[in-house]
Amino acid sequence: MKRSVGTLNRTWLGILGFLVLMTGSIVILQAGGMLQGIMNTPPAGARVATADLHAVFAQSWVQAALLTIGVIVGVLGLLWMIAQIPRPNKVAAYRFHTEESGGRTLCDPAVLARAVEEHINTIPGVVSSAAKLYGTARSPEVSLKATLNDRADIQAVLLGIQSTVLPTLGAALEAPVTSSRIQIDISGKDQFGGTLHPSTGTVLQ
Amino acid sequence: MNGRAPTGSEARADALEYGTRGKTVLAEKVIEKIASQVARDESTSSGSAGGFMGIGSHADSSARPRTSVQLTGNIAALSVEVGLPYPAPLRQGTQFLRERITSRVSEMTGVEVRQVDIRVSWLTMAKEPVGRRRLL
Amino acid sequence: MSLNEGHSTPLRHRPTRTIPALVVGLLMLASGVTLVWLTIWRLANGHWPPGLRGMRNWLAALDWADPGIWMIGAGLVMAGVVLVLCAAIPGGFGALRVAGADGSGADGMPDAAREIVMTRRGVAHLAKAQCLDLDGVGSASTTATAKHVQLHIRTPLHDQGDLGAQAAQRVRSCLESAGLQPVPRVSATVTSTR
């Protein structure tokens, strides 16, 4: 999404920039009298408006043209601004059923994402995490954001994610994760929650 | 039972007799409750508890999964919303659940279950196994 | 509909030029609305708004060598250059690439399908935490780009010695062990608070 908006912006900024630059250069060349030698334009001392402006703008086709140009320019500007609004990258529910299943089996990727977040949060050094799943149930793609404590062992956390969290997700989906994107952020906050240790006790006989 | 087939007049009499015994209506709610009970008791799935109008509810392993049924004559189509343990294989888990619901509901009610739609709405992290007690 | 609909998008990307696009879009919208409003006024009242009379008179009297024309030309050239630069300058990446952990191949995923990045803010925070752990550092602030980490250290020490070099070395080795690839250049400036 962001990439396509970036390309759109660069393209249109480039096109408009070039047009504006060319227009400005032509105006300067004409004002300096340099264009007259090349393109046989009026001399620098000549009037800009050679016709009666009142008469020109009184014509109905000129008014219609101005109205059309105004609408086109305004709509293009509005559409360009609307294109900047980030849109959510929607993912359809994962489907686990087949023809022979005897019913549909659906799971929203957000449900799996919450489980993945919960799993990541158990890794030492992880303060918080956010996960998003894309793709399909047979070809899942994962995008993770993990916020780590500034004293965390980053490589150990990554190893934990890559060797435990992602394979666990793959086991739940019964399909390996085909693509993973991990964004690490660092925070001064401490890890919340700690670890639960089951009490085993001692039985005296 | 005297070993002979009933004659036509006897069969008509039997039908009349059955007709006078009344009729049994199986409410959809009955099938819903049986299905959700089977889902909770005979599989690893669970339901949700708390919240208001579905908002703020949380997974509860002792709660029955939410079930709805569409009964057409003697054929039922069920929809079940369940929570499952993570990371249990979802495909296998839901297929097992579907088979259990289908067979048990059919056994207990005589209704033919044609389809069971399952929506997995939450996953609960499996707890670490409790350590062994030390014997002295 | 986006090409990436339903698929994960890269985490490491260049600026999207949203602000220049919004500014130009807004200018286009304003110009369009003004033009439409003026034309509708003309159609409704049979004459152009009186406010335009001054502009018409100015235009009618204008010749090409007028200083106003030079200024308009120069303004257009400058605006054009700015827009072209906005489009042409690629801009820095918003995040730094991180190498995967040893043994990360356990997930069976090809390297091309794996992307790990650390945000610039994260790198700056990590560098700051490392500086603050160093004896002699009173306070520190850091800025990070994809290629450079700058440390600003304030110390109560009279003799700063090689505090800046020590801090830079410490941050560099921390970023190395974090797996940043390539490790950004680290430089430090030390200011005495006395």
Residue C1: predicted pLDDT? 44
DSSP per-residue codes, A33-72:
THHHHHH-PPPTTSBS--S-HHHHHHSHHHHHHHHHHHHH
Residue A1: predicted pLDDT? 41
Q: Does A113 touch chain B (CB under 8 A)?
A: no
Q: Which residue of chain C has the CA closest to A70?
A: C32
Find out whether A162 and C113 touch, Cβ atoms under 8 Å.
Answer: no
Residue B118: predicted pLDDT? 93
* pLDDT (tens digit per residue) in C58-77: 888 888 888 889 999 999 99
* pLDDT (tens digit per residue) in C16-55: 899 999 999 999 999 999 999 999 999 899 888 888 888 8
Asked if pLDDT for residue B10 goes beyond 50, the answer is yes
* pLDDT (tens digit per residue) in A72-114: 999 999 999 999 998 888 888 999 988 888 889 999 999 999 9
| β partners of residue A184 | A146, C118
Return the structure tokens found at A60: 């109905």
- Cα separation, B73 vs B71, in Å, equals 6
Q: Find chains touching chain C: ≥3 CB pairs under 8 Å.
A: A
- Per the structure, the count of domains in chain A is 2
Contact between chains at A186 and C126 (C-beta distance less than 8 A): yes
Which residue ranges form the domains of chain B, and what is each CATH number? Answer: 25-125 (3.30.70.1350)
Per the prediction, chain C carries an average pLDDT of: 88
Interface predicted TM-score (ipTM) of this complex, two decimals: 0.76
Q: Which residues of A touch C88 (CB under 8 A)?
A: 14
Q: Which residue of A101, A111, A205 is in closest CB contact with B136?
A: A205
Asked if pLDDT for residue C105 goes beyond 70, the answer is no
Residue B1: predicted pLDDT? 41
| A177 and A102 housed in the same domain | yes
User: Which residue range forms the structural domain that includes residue A175?
Assistant: 94-187
Contact between chains at A103 and B78 (C-beta distance less than 8 A): yes
- CB pairs < 8 Å spanning A and C: 315
Asked if pLDDT for residue B57 goes beyond 60, the answer is yes
- Cα separation, A191 vs A147, in Å, equals 10
Contact between chains at C118 and A134 (C-beta distance less than 8 A): no
Q: What predicted TM-score, i.e. pTM, was given to this entire model? A: 0.76
| A64 and A30 housed in the same domain | yes
Q: Does C136 touch chain A (CB under 8 A)?
A: no
Cβ neighbours, 10 Å, residue A146: 29
Residue A31 lies in a domain: yes
| A127 and A157 housed in the same domain | yes
**Cis peptide upstream of residue B87 (ω within 30 degrees of 0):** yes
Residue B13: predicted pLDDT? 63
| A105 and A35 housed in the same domain | no
Residue A201 lies in a domain: no
| A178 and A106 housed in the same domain | yes
**pLDDT confidence band for C88 (50 / 70 / 90):** very high
| A103 and A77 housed in the same domain | no
**pLDDT confidence band for A26 (50 / 70 / 90):** very high
| A117 and A75 housed in the same domain | no
